[in-house]
């Protein structure tokens, strides 16, 4: 049987985060402002994020960090922020049925400026086995998704239906794409097996 995986960040303590400026609205408020754009209307900046006694400490000083530029860059929007290499690896495997277009994001940090990309879905995908998926009682909010193999067989990258599906932090990949991503040694990623029937 074909396997599918949740695409997760592989966070290590000495990793830089891409952050918006303080006045930028939170992620779900930004989606409607950026989904029709080919490039984010703002830049992101690499920051050192650490825990202190009073909460998170955010600093522009990246010294001492071992993981600055990753292929799957963690960020304060919790959006899938992918390097050119990761975008190319994924794009080469897409069937076209996924309905993905890419939004460019500019990241400044460590005396460099790099282009990253965010996948945006053009249509809501019907991917769930609704009988096996666990929902919050009397709602459409998903507790544990179970995907229907017959519905996802033509997708290498997809999402679980949710309110903000156009740009989502919850991406799933086929086993084929997972193996290629591992072979290409993409950084900042990990995979969690997901249920498919």
Q: Any residues with CB less than 8 A from the CB of 168 and at least 6 apart, and which?
A: 80, 121, 159, 160, 162
Q: What is the pTM of this model?
A: 0.93
Give the chain's mean pLDDT. 94
Q: Is the pLDDT of residue 23 over 80?
A: no
**Tens-place pLDDT, residues 77-122:** 999 999 999 999 999 999 999 999 999 999 999 899 999 999 999 9
Residue 31: domain span = 4-193
Q: pLDDT value at position 1?
A: 65
15 in Cβ contact with 74 (< 8 Å): yes
Q: Is the pLDDT of residue 18 over 70?
A: yes
Tokens linked to 15: 């990793």
* Strands in the chain per DSSP E: 4-9, 16-19, 44-52, 55-59, 82-83, 100-109, 112-121, 134-135, 142-144, 157-159, 171-174, 189-193
**Tens-place pLDDT, residues 107-166:** 999 899 999 999 999 999 999 999 999 999 999 889 999 999 999 999 999 998 888 899
Q: Is the pLDDT of residue 26 over 90?
A: no
Number of domains in the chain: 1
């Amino acid at each position: 049987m074909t396997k599918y995986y949740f695409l997760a960040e592989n966070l290590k303590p000495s990793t830089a985060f891409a952050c918006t400026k303080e006045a930028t609205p939170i992620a779900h408020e930004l989606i409607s402002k950026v989904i029709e754009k080919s490039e984010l209307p703002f830049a992101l900046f690499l920051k050192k994020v650490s825990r202190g006694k009073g909460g998170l400490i955010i600093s522009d000083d990246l010294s001492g960090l071992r993981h600055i530029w990753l292929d799957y860059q963690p960020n304060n929007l919790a959006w899938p922020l992918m390097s050119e290499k990761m975008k190319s690896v994924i794009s080469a495997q897409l069937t076209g049925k996924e309905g993905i277009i890419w939004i460019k994001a500019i990241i400044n940090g460590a005396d460099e400026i790099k282009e990253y990309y965010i996948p945006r879905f053009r249509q809501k995908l019907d991917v769930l086995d609704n009988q096996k998926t666990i929902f919050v009682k009397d709602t459409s909010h998903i507790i544990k998704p179970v995907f229907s193999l017959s519905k996802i067989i033509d997708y290498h990258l997809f999402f679980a239906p949710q309110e903000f599906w156009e740009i989502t932090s919850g991406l799933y990949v086929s086993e084929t794409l997972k193996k290629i991503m591992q072979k290409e040694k993409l950084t900042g990623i990990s995979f969690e097996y997901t249920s498919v029937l």
